[in-house]
A and B are shown apart, each in its own frame.
Chain A
Amino acid sequence: MAVATVPETLLAPAGLNRWDSPWLNTKFVSGLVMVVAVLLMGLIGTRFWPERLALVASSPINLPPAWVSPNPQFGPPEAAHPLGTESNGRDILAVIITGAPRSFQVGLIAAGIGMLVGILLGFTAGFLGGWVDNVIRTVADSVITIPSLALLILVSSYVRVVDISSMALILAAFSWAGPTRLIRAQVLSLRERGYVRMARLSGISSFDIMFREMLPNMLPYLASSLAGNVAGAILAATSLEALGLGPTRIPTLGMTIFYAISSSAVLRGMWWWWGFPILILIVIFTGLFLMAIGLDEIANPRLRGASADA
């Protein structure tokens, strides 16, 4: 990036320079920065901040963040617990550092599986057509209409979730329908494009046409959909946890919100207890959301042009 000082005209003969790359979309990049920042906080943070402070009774209870002026209601703020502690003796900073990567993990696993199933079913439906298409489309459409959170609540109230990966698997069972629908529509529209017809005429196998000709052309759409689905899966996981249906030993961000709600931290004025987990989640959601919109604009130049004059 050191060449940034070179006059643009020297680098770009036809008005196309490296800074014109559609991937340098403002929304996409700022979203990516937010997501990476939270991930780094989790990855680097565990090196400097002991993870065991996230366990119950590891710290004094009810301390406000270090910069808050002492309040008779709560203990005196301590530098050892910069973001304060909650009523079960957990250090909020440690909770955030250990919780944020877990949220990403759940989201990525669930959305990743959903996306793989979606690619498989979407291509099958769009490419084969006929009754296969009818069956897949009808089932996917039905699953989309079902309020998945309700079924997730049912499942996790029977199968009390104990760890992150079983949570992710349960969520994955409901996150394939959206991608299937999207990919099927894309396949249908790409199927009649010139290069696909050309490939078919050249006698390339259906498999190669699907995965070597069409799939690369869908990548921005898929990436946008994946970013949206990761956010959706994290939201579903957080919602279940906020109802108390999540892993209990090592707190996740959602479980922390649940503990805060059930100890009525909101009405006791302990804003740091629920405020910091929510802040981190908002950064995650906004980051993923911006990435999804940015990727949409990368995939669809019409939206991009419009955003310039808006």
Chain B
Amino acid sequence: MRGLTRAYLLRRLGMYVLTVWLGSTIIFIVPRLVPGDPVAAMIGRMSQSAGRVENSAEIINAWRARFGLDAPVPIQYVNYLRNAITLDLGYSLAHFPATVRDMVAQAVPWTIGLLAVATVISFIAGNLIGALMAWAPTPRWAKRLLPLSLTFTSIPYFMLAILLVYVFGFGLRLFPISGGYGRGLTLGWNLPYILSVMQHAILPALSIVIASMGYWALGMRGMMITNAGEDYIILARAKGLSPARLFLRYAVRNAVLPQVTALALTLGSIVGGATLVEYLFAYPGMGYLLYQAIVSNDYSLIQGIVFILILATATAVLIIDLVYPFIDPRITYQQR
């Protein structure tokens, strides 16, 4: 357990619990801040969109009993937290017999697959571009070309996604622009299905990669510049090490470490941005499910998805933070 002290581990785990608790408490409070109780509010929305709701009194009573809304709020809260811990997220309002957990479970692999691949590609490409921009021996033509890749840095993912849909889906008709796989394919580990999944993932992944790459490049460039004058680089150069080794093992290796921390900090907004990309491409992940839940006023589904998004992001950040001391041996987390 090099560098990973028990005190740090406990503190970090405590923060993880705090994050998930804060998020789920907000999810608990928000519906109760709205005038009336959440069930009445749901029925209100339903009747707003559907004209009128049959048997609304019975639905209200049934849901009250289901949610335990007759109980005092503190008891409701304890029950809610207990259910959240066991991932019992209740039933979907719009697709009644289906549980929120099942619906989310179907969507999660799509989102994790898309996000993991896109984030890894963007992280590697962005850091490489940034490192080359700040590296003195980089050829002049490359230094002119590389900043072009930053053009889209400040554009939100979903706006880039609209542009890509227009260019590749409407204009060139090169890639499919909606869904996660072609119709009439058997799901499973067969070649046509896997190819179709990859083909459908290209545009959504591309919009995330292009839009987020510049963020990494800029941070990396700053770190490379800060490290450029350090003694260990000068010594390494004086030793006559090959430029490639100098670049990768000495300069990049040290500069990339803070970028890992930055990854932990921005993961939340990456997840948020990807939600909208999925919605635009009707990609069968959490983001699209969330949009469908919003459209059909499926409040229990919205709450479930939001909870899972918070849980997943917090878990990913926890993992990054716990792995960090192993990739950066300088960090020891001693008590001050």
Contacts and interface: CB of A to CB of B under 8 A. Distances in A.
A26 B217 CA distance: 20
B15 A154 contact: no
Contacts of A274: 162
Contacts of A157: 294, 297, 299, 302
Contacts, number: 143
B158 A159 contact: no
A74 B169 CA distance: 20
A248 to B, nearest CB: 13
Main secondary structure of the interface of B (DSSP, over half): helix
Most buried by A among B30, B41, B267: B30
Given A141-B15, A148-B268, A242 B153 contact: no
Contacts of A148: 268-269, 272
B290 A144 contact: no
Interface in A135-155: 138-139, 141-151, 153-155
Given A266-B162, A274-B162, A146 B302 contact: no
B267 A145 contact: yes
Given A239-B156, A310-B143, A142 B275 contact: no
Interface string A242-268: 111100000000000100010000110
A301 B187 CA distance: 56
A274 to B, nearest CB: 6
Contacts of A139: 18, 22
A242 B272 contact: no
A143 B26 CA distance: 11
A142 B268 contact: no
A158 interface: yes
A271 interface: yes
Interface stretch (A13-21, A107-115, A284-292): A284-292
A261 B280 contact: yes
A217 B329 CA distance: 34
Given A142-B22, A244-B295, A151 B306 contact: yes
A145 B159 contact: no
A160 B23 CA distance: 20
Contacts of A159: 33-34
B306 A150 contact: yes
A208 to B, nearest CB: 28
Interface of B: 14-15, 18-19, 22-23, 26-27, 30-31, 33-34, 41, 133-134, 143, 153-156, 158-159, 162-163, 165-166, 169-170, 177, 218, 221-222, 225-226, 264-265, 267-269, 271-273, 275-276, 279-280, 290-291, 294-295, 297, 299, 302-303, 305-306, 309-310, 313-314, 317
16 contacts: A142-B15, A142-B22, A145-B314, A146-B268, A147-B271, A149-B275, A154-B306, A157-B294, A158-B33, A158-B34, A232-B269, A239-B272, A243-B291, A244-B295, A271-B166, A281-B156
